Structure 1
Amino acid sequence: MANALSAIVVVIVTIFIPPLGVFLIAGCGADLLINICLTLLGYFPGHIHAFYLEYVYYDRKDKARLGGMAAQQRAPGVYSQNIQTGGHTNYGTVPVQ
């Protein structure tokens, strides 16, 4: 339930301010900078990028919860490790490239 509620909040925030939605899932990094630039170039490119990042994040978060993250390839155009892993960290293990 908490996962669905957080996803709804992030989507609502992203509708109004796409870079803030990206910041909430990716933190401060390349994905945020790209989204700020896309939003300044036009409101809809910022939305498309933000919703793509959110889709990857929540899809991978669900797969990691179900145990299916081991052989996952990197998502194209996503630079945040937090998004690539769905918010899960693998402390003490070697990440699969």
Structure 2
Amino acid sequence: MPLLQIIVSILLPPLGVFLAKGIGTDFWINVVLTLLGYIPGIVHAIWVVAKAN
């Protein structure tokens, strides 16, 4: 599952965070970062997924 979450985090960063943590602070931070720039959203999503597992 972690590999699938990392792949999803690269394609759709908020979805990857949602799968790892649900809707919460990390999800909303990731949505904002993804809207500001795709790369910061990816970095944050991978960080959250790696920290959750």
| Bucket of the pairwise TM-score, normalised by the shorter protein | over 0.9
Q: Which amino acid aligns with 1:35?
A: N
The aligned counterpart of 1:31 is 26
Total equivalences in the alignment: 53
Identity of aligned residues (%): 47
The aligned counterpart of 1:68 is none
Distance 2:49 2:32 in 1: 17
SS at match of 1:13: helix
Q: CA deviation at 1:8?
A: 1.2
TM-score scaled to structure 2, two decimals? Answer: 0.93
Structure (1 or 2) with the greater helix fraction:
2
For the aligned residue pairs, the C-alpha RMSD in angstroms reads 0.7
The aligned counterpart of 1:50 is 45
SS at match of 1:28: coil
Q: Rg: which structure is higher?
A: 1
Structure 1's unaligned 5+ residue stretches are 1-5, 59-97
Distance 2:50 2:20 in 1: 11
Distance 1:10 1:55 in 2: 9
Which one scores higher on RCO, CA 8 angstroms, separation ≥ 6?
2
